[in-house]
Amino acid sequence: MTRLAVMWVHGVEIADARFADTSMDLLRTEFTRIAGVDADEALVLRTAFWAPVYEGRQDALLRRMGGARAQGVFDLLDSLGSATDRGSVAALLGLVASGLVRSLPGSPDFHYPTLRWLVVHYLGDAISYQAGAVDRALYDGVHRVLARSLHDLATEAGEDAPLCVLAHSLGSVVASNFFYDLQVAGGLHPDGSAGVAPEVAAELGDTPAERGETLGWLYTLGSPLALFAQRHPDFGTPITVPHPQLDLRHPGAGGEWVNYWDPDDVIAAPIRPLNDAYAKAVVADRTVAVAPWWLGWTPLVHPFYWNDVRVVRPVATQLAMAWHRLQEGPDRVTTG
């Protein structure tokens, strides 16, 4: 039986390795209902929890900005942020309410601690991640986490298991860059890019899945890819989804890149209009209303994508159809 591999790549403000628990449970439920087969038999699920790459530096920065007495507040904000990413509306409202606090006892000049915490995590992650001409350590450190998750998926699901990636917020930029580097290494984008760093390659085995050749489905959720594309002439080159090798190994598997965005989410944007290459690579910029109705008209919708059935159900449907095609289709063609 061919199993499908699914990877979750988180965005900013994450501090809990269980960030995708709610989303995983929702995908399992929807897949089982739609496919008529137990998701635990058909799917192998993994997260790429890259937040610890930055955590030490960000904690040190916040302590220097707010003083040692503020550490307890930042720990509480981390906890609320993690609960929010698992779909807790109450935690999100707690974060919003804390944003009204102007100063902390013992740190009178450290105004609006919650907003500063957000800035350090949101802008700090983005700034730190970008590969610089001098130091790629953090960029490559994040990609090592994705490489380890991909290795684990290939080990459990199979070395040529078709791969689906759900990537939220900055995680969509991370996933795009990671698979672009793999595709450069595989000769899909001969544009002179550096490709996979040695320390990242060291985490990967020499299997089709770990070369990125089985990437079939990419779902970017609340993605700021359009903002990051400004760095490139004509807004850059997208990754190829599905990978051309997927159909050779799994004829008829299909595949798609869909970008989900809520118009009330000021971080998200459509990406097909960037250029002709993106228009061809991305099947759809699909507008979706996420979060509870009474919150869904505000920019606070940003954390809710992969915990919302309106996003997960179409993903589960595509994976269910693909799984049945793979079980019933022609024998796979192996190409080495």
Here the CATH number for the domain that contains residue 308 is 3.40.50.1820
**Within a domain: 35:** yes
pTM recorded for the entire structure: 0.85
Confidence band (pLDDT; 50, 70, 90) for 124?
A: low
Count of residues in the chain = 336
Beta partners for residue 163, in sequence order:
5, 215
- For 53-83, write each residue's pLDDT tens digit: 877 666 666 666 666 666 667 777 777 777 7
Q: Is the peptide bond before 273 cis (omega within 30 degrees of 0)?
A: no
- Asked if residue 106 belongs to a domain, the reply is no
Total domain count, the chain: 1
pLDDT at position 128 is: 65
> What's the pLDDT tens digit per position in 12-32?
767 789 999 999 999 999 999
Of residues 179, 138, 123, 147, the one with CA closest to residue 11: 123
- Within 8 A by CB and 6+ apart from 256, the residues are 217, 218, 241, 242, 283, 318
Average pLDDT, the chain: 86
d(C-alpha 101, C-alpha 117), whole Å? 12
Do the Cβ atoms of 282 and 226 come closer than 8 Å? Answer: no
Domain membership of residue 263 (yes or no) is yes
Amino acid at 264: D
Domain enclosing residue 258, as ranges: 4-53+127-327
Question: Is 122 inside any structural domain?
Answer: no
Residue 98 lies in a domain: no
User: Mind listing the pLDDT tens digit for each residue in 152-189?
Assistant: 999 999 999 999 999 999 999 999 999 999 999 998 88
Nearest alpha-carbon partner for 39 in 52, 53, 23: 23
φ/ψ region of 163 (left if φ > 0, alpha if ψ in -120 to 50, else beta) reads: beta
Give alpha helix (H) positions in the chain.
21-35, 39-42, 52-66, 71-85, 89-98, 113-129, 137-157, 170-185, 198-201, 225-228, 244-249, 276-281, 309-328
Largest CA distance in the chain: 69
- 105 lies in some domain: no
Q: How many CA atoms lie within 13 A of 60 on its CB side?
A: 5
Query: Do the domain assignments include residue 134?
Result: yes
Tokens coding 299: 């920019």
On the 0-12 / 13-18 / 19+ scale of CB atoms within 10 A, 60 is exposed
Please report whether residue 107 resides in a domain: no
Query: Distance between CA atoms of 304 and 221, rounded to whole angstroms?
Result: 9
3-state DSSP of 72-102: HHHHHHHHHHHHHHCCCHHHHHHHHHHCCCC
Q: What is the mean pLDDT of residues 271-284?
A: 97
